Amino acid sequence: MDRWWCPCEPPQARTQGAVMHKEQISAETHGEAGSAEGTEAARFWARAQARRAAAALSAAYGAHADVVSVATQGDQAVMVMQIRDLHTWYVHRDLLGIPPESVTCEADACVGRTVVVTTPVRLVGHGVPGLLAAAAGRARQPYRIGDRVYDLGVPLADGDGALWRYRGSRTPDGVPLLRPYGRDGEPRRLPDLVRRTGELCPARRPVPRLRPA
C-alpha cells in the first residue's frame, strides 16, 4: 500500500519537539522552588518565575514578525501574536507544547494554555477565528475540532501515512466516522484518530515506492 504525503509532521516528531522546548525553557528560567512560606512570599516567587518565563519566550520568539508582545499578567507569561496563516499558529502552538484540546476560541482570538514547571503560559492568536472560518468556507464538508478544520470531503492522512475516508456515517451524537482507505479495518471516530495519531492532514499525493535497482 502506498504511503501518502501529508503536510504535517508525524505526531512523534511534533511531540518530542514540544517537550524539548518546554524543558529548555524550564532549565533556563526555573531554579529550585525553595520554601516560599506565606501567601505574599509564594505570590512574589510565582511572579518572578513568570517574568523569567516571559524573558525566555521573548528571547526565543520576540523577533518573529507575527509576535506582538510578550509580557506577564500576574503569575502568567503571555505571548500575543497576530496570526496571518494557520500554519504559523500551529507551529508555535506545538513548539510550546500546547495540546489542541486546551485551545479555546472567541470572536477575534484563540487562546492556548500550558504550564512550564509551575508557570502558566498563554499563547494568544489574534486572527485565528477568521482564518478558521475561511478554511471552513473552502472545505467541501467542514468539521471543526478545537482550532483545526477538517475537510471530510477529501482523503485524510494520519501521521503514519495511512489514508482515511469519510463515507457519510456518524455516531448518534454527530461525530464523523472515518474508514480505512484501501485496506480492511473498522470505522473510527475522527476525534479518536486525532488523539491516537495526531492531527490529520489532507492527503496530497501518493509517495512513490522505491523499486530495487
Long-range contacts of 134-140, Cβ-Cβ distance < 8 Å, separation of 24 or more: 135/86
Supply the pTM of this predicted model. Answer: 0.75
Q: What pLDDT was estimated at residue 170?
A: 96
Q: What pLDDT was estimated at residue 206?
A: 56
Query: Is 16 a residue whose pLDDT tops 50?
Result: no
pLDDT tens digits for range 28-68: 555 544 444 568 888 899 999 999 999 999 999 999 999 99
Q: What pLDDT was estimated at residue 5?
A: 41
Q: What pLDDT was estimated at residue 181?
A: 87
Helix runs in the chain, H state only = 11-29, 39-61, 86-95, 128-138, 190-197
| Angle, vertex CA 198, rays to CA 194 and CA 203, nearest 5 | 90
User: Rounded mean pLDDT of the chain?
Assistant: 82
Query: Is 151 a residue whose pLDDT tops 70?
Result: yes
